[in-house]
């Protein structure tokens, strides 16, 4: 009797494991990829948005004359848990306030366009000779959440990161994540847009979403195996506990 009960439990456990197995076709990336060259898309420069923090430096052949333009890179964070950022905050109206130049509209422009605009302003007012303007983002971040190994917020100091790199830094998609339905949530002209990406398709290598933009959110949805395992666990736990109680009572009476 004891041997029969033990075999029954072993068979039930094996059945549960087999039922929870994930198909291998759902695990890999780019399952339809062929041996060919993918043109890809060069990373287009991101437009500056309100609440961006920009590092701006201006130099020329006259260091003393240039110094006055570089006094506005103030520390913008004071939280002890957050590294201090020194730079210009793009306000809600899209402007930055610069020494000498005053309010300059930055939102909607690329860094190259803003650099050209500032250079033209300095030249028109004859403030410096041959000015050199350097601009970079200080708060380029993307967020990866959902069925990944390590949900995280990623800081991007070089201002360039692909979706695949972000997923790698977040511990990769787990076996319970839907690679065919990865969501990228992005701000476009002040509105949230959602794009669904199928990472089984090699055409993604040519997608404008191959490279992420500042403040993008990547969400990996759970697949049916994850949902089924959670639901199955909740349903089976009471039954298993009840069954074990019955087995204990039976064994106690037999032996």
Domain residue extents for the chain: 27-44+140-222, 53-137
Instruction: Tell me: pLDDT of 101 over 80.
Output: yes
CATH for the stretch 53-137: 3.30.1950.10
Is 56 exposed, middle or buried, given 0-12, 13-18 or 19+ CB atoms closer than 10 A? Answer: buried
Poorest-confidence range of 5-19, 77-91, 100-114, 153-167?
Answer: 5-19
Taking a C-beta distance cutoff of 8 angstroms, is the pair 147, 177 a contact? yes
CATH superfamily of the 27-44+140-222 domain: Outer membrane lipoprotein wza domain like (3.10.560.10)
Q: Distance (Å, rounded) from C-alpha 132 to C-alpha 66? A: 10
Higher pLDDT pick, 63 / 233 = 63
pLDDT in tens, 123-169: 999 999 999 999 999 989 999 999 999 999 999 988 899 999 999 99
Higher pLDDT pick, 54 / 86 = 54
Higher pLDDT pick, 45 / 206 = 206
Neighbouring CB atoms inside 10 A of 111's CB total 20
Ordered alpha helix ranges (H), the chain = 2-19, 63-67, 111-124, 163-169, 224-254
pTM score, whole prediction: 0.66
pLDDT band with cut points at 50, 70 and 90 for residue 77: very low
- Intrachain domains 27-44+140-222 and 53-137 with the same fold: no
In angstroms, how far is CA 142 from the centroid of its own chain? 4
pLDDT in tens, 13-38: 544 544 545 454 555 565 655 555 55
Instruction: Tell me: pLDDT of 86 over 80.
Output: no
């Amino acid at each position: 009797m004891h041997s029969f009960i033990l075999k029954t439990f072993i068979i039930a456990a094996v059945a549960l494991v087999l039922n929870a197995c994930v198909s291998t076709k759902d695990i890999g990336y780019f399952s339809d990829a062929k041996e060919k060259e993918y043109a890809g898309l060069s990373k287009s420069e991101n437009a500056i948005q309100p609440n961006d923090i920009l590092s701006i430096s201006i130099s020329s052949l006259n260091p003393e004359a240039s110094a006055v333009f570089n006094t506005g890179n103030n520390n913008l964070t004071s939280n002890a848990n957050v590294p201090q950022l020194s730079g210009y905050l793009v306000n809600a109206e899209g402007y930055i306030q610069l020494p000498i130049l005053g309010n300059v509209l930055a939102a909607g422009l690329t860094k190259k366009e803003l650099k050209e605009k500032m250079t033209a302003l300095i030249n028109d007012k004859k403030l410096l000779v041959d000015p050199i303007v350097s601009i970079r983002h200080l708060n380029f971040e993307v967020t990866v959440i959902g069925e990944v190994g390590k949900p995280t917020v990623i800081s991007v100091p070089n201002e360039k990161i692909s979706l695949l790199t972000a997923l790698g830094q977040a511990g990769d998609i787990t076996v319970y994540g839907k690679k065919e339905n990865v969501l990228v949530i992005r701000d476009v002209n002040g509105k949230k847009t959602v794009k669904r990406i199928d990472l089984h398709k090699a055409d993604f290598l040519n997608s404008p979403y191959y490279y992420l933009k500042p403040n993008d959110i990547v969400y990996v949805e759970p697949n049916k195996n994850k949902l089924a395992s959670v639901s199955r666990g909740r349903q089976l736990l009471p039954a298993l506990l009840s069954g074990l109680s019955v087995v204990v009572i039976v064994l106690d009476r037999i032996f």
